[in-house]
Structure 1
Amino acid sequence: MKPVLIVGAGPVGLTLAWRLSSAGLPVQVFEAEPGIPDQLRASTFHPPTLDMFDASGITAELIAAGRITPSWQIRMHDTGARAVFDLGVLSDRTAHPYRLQCRQARLCDALLARLPGGCVHFGAQVSQVGQQDGSAWLEVAGSRIEGSFVVGCDGARSIVRKAAGLSFSGETYPENTILATTDFPFEAHIDGLSGVNYIWEPRGTFSLLRLPDLWRISLHPRAGESAEDALEDAAIQARVDELLPGHPPIQIHEKRVYRVHRRIVDTYWQGRLVLAGDAAHLNSPKGGMGMNGGVHDAMALAEALVAIAGGAAPGTQLARYDAQRRPVAAEEILAQADANRKRMNTVDPEARAAHLAELKAIAGDPARARAFLAKSSMFDGLARAAAAVA
Structure 2
Amino acid sequence: MTNSVVIIGAGPVGLTMAWRLIGLGVSVHVFEADDAISDQLRASTFHPPTLDMFKESGITAELVAQGRITPTWQIRQHEDGDLVEFDLNVLADETDHPYRLQCRQARLSEALLRRLPSGTVSFSTPVSAVGQDANGSAWVEVGGERISADYVIGCDGARSLVRNAMGVSLEGQTYPESTVLATTKLPFENYLSGLSGVNYVWHNEGTYSLLRLPDLWRISLHPGADETPEDALTDRSIIAKTRAIIPDAPEIEVEEKRIYRVHRRIVSDYRKGRLLLAGDAAHLNSPKGGMGMNGGIHDAFNLSEKLVAVLDGAPDDLLDLYTRQRRPIAAEEILAQADANRKRMAVKDPAERKAYLRELQQTVADRDAARAFLMRSSMFTGLKRAEAIT
**What stretches of structure 2 of length at least 5 have no aligned partner?**
none
Shift of 1:120: 0.4
Residue aligned with 2:95, SS: coil
Matched residue type, 2:284: L
CA distance in 1 between partners of 2:194 and 2:365 (Å):
17
Task: Determine which of 283, 292, 301 is the counterpart of 2:303.
Answer: 301
Matched residue type, 1:196: V
Aligned residue in 2 for 1:384? 385
Shift of 1:229: 0.2
Shift of 1:246: 2.4
**Contact 2:375/2:381 (<8 A) preserved:** yes
Residue aligned with 1:148, SS: strand
Greater mean alpha carbon deviation, residues 362-371 or residues 95-104? 362-371
Shift of 1:167: 1.8
Aligned residue in 2 for 1:137? 139
Aligned residue in 1 for 2:348? 347
**Contact 2:153/2:277 (<8 A) preserved:** yes
Q: What is the root-mean-square deviation in Å for CA atoms of aligned residues?
A: 0.8
Matched residue type, 1:374: M
Aligned residue in 2 for 1:74? 75
**Contact 2:88/2:374 (<8 A) preserved:** yes
Residue aligned with 1:19, SS: helix
Residue aligned with 2:74, SS: strand
Deviation per CA, 1:255-301: give whole Å up to 9, x if none: 00011000000000001110000000000000000000000000000
Deviation per CA, 1:188-244: give whole Å up to 9, x if none: 000000000000001210000000001000000011211110110000111011111
Greater mean alpha carbon deviation, residues 242-251 or residues 160-169? 242-251
CA distance in 1 between partners of 2:315 and 2:279 (Å):
23
User: Quick check: 1:227 aligned with 2:229?
Assistant: yes
Normalising by structure 1, report the TM-score. Answer: 0.99
Matched residue type, 1:294: G
Matched residue type, 1:43: S
Shift of 1:3: 2.1
**Contact 2:6/2:151 (<8 A) preserved:** yes
User: Quick check: 1:292 aligned with 2:294?
Assistant: yes
Matched residue type, 2:101: L
Aligned residue in 2 for 1:178? 180
Normalising by structure 2, report the TM-score. Answer: 0.99
Q: Which runs of 4+ in 1 moved over 3 A?
A: none
Shift of 1:101: 0.2
Aligned residue in 1 for 2:368? 367
Greater mean alpha carbon deviation, residues 56-65 or residues 358-367? 358-367
Aligned residue in 2 for 1:53? 54
Deviation per CA, 1:143-169: give whole Å up to 9, x if none: 111101110000000000001101210
CA distance in 2 between partners of 1:289 and 1:121 (Å):
28
| Aligned residue pair count | 388
CA distance in 2 between partners of 1:16 and 1:184 (Å):
37
**What stretches of structure 1 of length at least 5 have no aligned partner?**
none
Aligned residue in 1 for 2:319? 318
Residue aligned with 2:255, SS: strand
Deviation per CA, 1:106-153: give whole Å up to 9, x if none: 000010011111110100101100001111000111111110111000
Aligned residue in 1 for 2:100? 99
CA distance in 2 between partners of 1:365 and 1:226 (Å):
44
Task: Determine which of 278, 281, 284 is the counterpart of 1:279.
Answer: 281
